[in-house]
Amino acid sequence: MSTFDIDGRTVNRLGYGTMQLPGEGVWGPPKDHDAALAVLRRAVEIGVTFFDTADSYGPVVAEQLLKKALHPYADDLVIATKAGLTRSGPGDWRPVGRPEYLRQQVEMSLRNLGLERIDLHQLHRIDPEVPLADQVGELKLLQDEGKIRHLGLSEVSVDELEQARKIADIVSVQNLFNLADRSAEPLLEHAEAEGIAFIPWFPLATGKLSQPGGPLDSLAREHDATPSQLALAWLLRRSPVMLPIPGTSSVAHLEDNLAAADLQLSDAEFARLTDAV
């Protein structure tokens, strides 16, 4: 599996996102607690070294599952978490970026994950009611205090990224991006030029591309692969800074996703998928 260096921490580029582990609506405990732990442990066994989570997944459920399944963490594991979205019920997400709130949530994540320092902490959303300098500035203070190693952002524009970089060193961005939705292409190109990790969330969304007779379906049959594997292989080929984090609550689906790391697309196949949208 190809790797990426996050400012001194090398990770395998195909990671795992924990958003699907809590209950319906990313709310409450998982339907099967033991199965959730099994997925996390199996991920490590088959080569995942980069895990993405957030305080709002559950809330706190996903972070606590990571601790239960994997703590004490192996030296090569990088745990990324986020703060900045609050929850008032299933499927409800509201940005809160007040400095005192972000500080509280970082302290809670340290406890829930069983860490003394968070490898990568990302601002989950920019709160439009709070100056960006206050939000990133507070996380920078926590970094200076040794509670965060690296800082990242989620769902931002190129301009917002550059504003944040005037306040702190930003090593990653996490935006919606997949084969069918490339609206964040300008941010990806900017991140690649600057050597910043790009973490696409919702990486498996393929829409009509995977329907019978569609470009993913036909190419999958040619490779004896699945449309999901092709979607991930395309992302990995798209940019060397791309770190997809497909999530699942099933060990079988996890193993299927991770097999995408071995799928090699020819130049013609990559172009065929790229041009399909």
Could you list the active site residues? 57
Listed in sequence order, the DSSP H helices in the chain are 33-45, 61-70, 99-113, 132-144, 158-165, 185-194, 215-223, 227-238, 251-258, 267-274
Question: Which two tokens mark 147?
Answer: 């509670």
Q: Which of 234, 141, 193, 170 is nearest to 6 (CA)?
A: 170
Rounded CA gap, 229 and 268, in Å? 17
The first and second tokens of residue 274, run together, are: 């790229």
- By residue count, the chain amounts to 277
Query: What dihedral do alpha carbons 44, 32, 85, 161 form, nearest 10°?
Result: 30
Q: For residues 165 and 162, what is the distance between their CA atoms, to the nearest angstrom?
A: 5
Place of tokens 């924990």: 18
Q: Helix H segments across 157-266?
A: 158-165, 185-194, 215-223, 227-238, 251-258
Which residues on neighbouring strands pair with residue 173, listed in sequence order? 153, 198
Q: 191-195 contacts: CB < 8 A, separation 24 or more?
A: 191/161, 191/241, 192/239, 192/240, 192/241, 195/241
Distance CA 251, CA 207 (A): 24
